[in-house]
């Protein structure tokens, strides 16, 4: 499931609004080749950082690292250290001690997410082929996740499923939808960890299906074949080293039938 944010400015970067995504990579050259081939990203070297660019705006960062958590979402925070302290107080875990800019944490259900303090003139492209489109937390305990992030970020929580067969909430900031939370169900193996799913946009003239085919050509794999949703056509894929992400074409929105409402969702982490 996916909900495209209703604010191009990402809620003007209020506390808790998505502000960045990054991917730890062992082989930077191979990662650059894959994502250039997939999305046509160009790159800027900013003080030694490899920044992906779409239509002149930064959209992601490829971070040289020995390992990590795959695609990682960052949410805006006015103060990284204070956020880390509050995460600990609310029962979460601080995975990377905060510096003046950022921290990496896990909520009490295990989902890993970053927080970053960004200036008012921060640029994060959210429009165009290969730009960030959406993110959602998949977790076994939706109620705990909702309450944790309500206390941490002040999110407005709205249930859009029935709360049972489909337990999916959207998280808002001052009336702007910014994130989603899905409770995993029987379609997910019991050992599937809580995880954030990051979505990138497929331009209408290219389409989700073409992106999925291109993933295969570049040495990646399709973990969930393209399918229609009320918010656009979606596929879940893994890159050349197995980092999982989703692609959505918001122009291809198709209402669900009565039979599809409440149907199980394929697990992208189940091979």
- pLDDT tens track, the chain, 271 positions: 444 444 344 446 789 999 999 999 999 999 999 999 999 999 999 999 999 999 999 999 999 998 888 999 999 999 999 999 999 999 999 999 999 999 999 999 999 999 999 998 899 999 999 999 999 999 999 999 999 999 999 999 999 988 989 999 999 998 899 999 999 998 888 999 999 999 999 999 999 999 999 999 999 999 999 999 999 999 999 999 999 999 999 999 887 655 444 444 444 444 4
Q: How many other C-beta atoms lie within 10 A of the C-beta of residue 55?
A: 12
Q: With the C-alpha atoms ordered 84, 176, 2, 235, is the resulting torsion angle positive or negative?
A: negative
The whole-model pTM stands at 0.90
Domains and CATH numbers, the chain: 11-249 (3.10.180.10)
Residues 71-98 as b or e (16 or more Cβ within 10 Å = b) = bbbbbbbeebeebbebbeebebeeeeeb
């Amino acid at each position: 499931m996916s909900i495209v944010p209703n604010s191009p400015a990402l809620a003007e970067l209020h506390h808790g609004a998505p502000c960045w995504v990054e991917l730890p990579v062992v082989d930077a050259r191979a990662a650059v080749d894959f994502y250039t081939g997939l999305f046509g990203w160009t790159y800027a070297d900013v003080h030694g950082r490899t920044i992906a660019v779409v239509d002149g705006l930064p959209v992601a960062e490829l971070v040289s690292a020995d390992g990590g958590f795959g695609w990682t979402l960052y949410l805006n925070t006015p103060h990284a250290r204070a956020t880390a302290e509050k995460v600990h107080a609310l029962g979460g875990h601080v995975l990377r001690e905060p510096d003046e800019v950022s921290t990496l944490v896990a909520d009490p259900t295990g989902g890993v997410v970053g927080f970053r303090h960004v200036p008012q003139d921060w640029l994060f492209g959210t429009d165009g082929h290969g730009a960030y489109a959406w993110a959602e937390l998949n977790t076994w305990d939706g109620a705990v996740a909702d309450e944790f992030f309500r206390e941490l970020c002040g999110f407005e929580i709205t249930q859009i499923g029935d709360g049972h067969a489909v337990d999916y909430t959207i998280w808002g900031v001052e009336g702007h939808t910014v994130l989603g939370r899905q409770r995993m169900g029987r379609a997910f193996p019991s050992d599937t960890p809580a995880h954030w799913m990051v979505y990138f946009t497929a331009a209408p003239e290219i389409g989700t299906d073409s992106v999925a085919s291109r993933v295969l050509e570049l040495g990646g794999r399709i973990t969930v074949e393209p399918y229609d949703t009320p918010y656009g056509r979606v596929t879940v894929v893994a890159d050349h080293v197995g980092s999982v992400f989703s692609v959505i074409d918001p122009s291809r929105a198709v209402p669900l039938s009565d039979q599809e409402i409440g149907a199980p969702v394929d697990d992208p982490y189940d091979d």
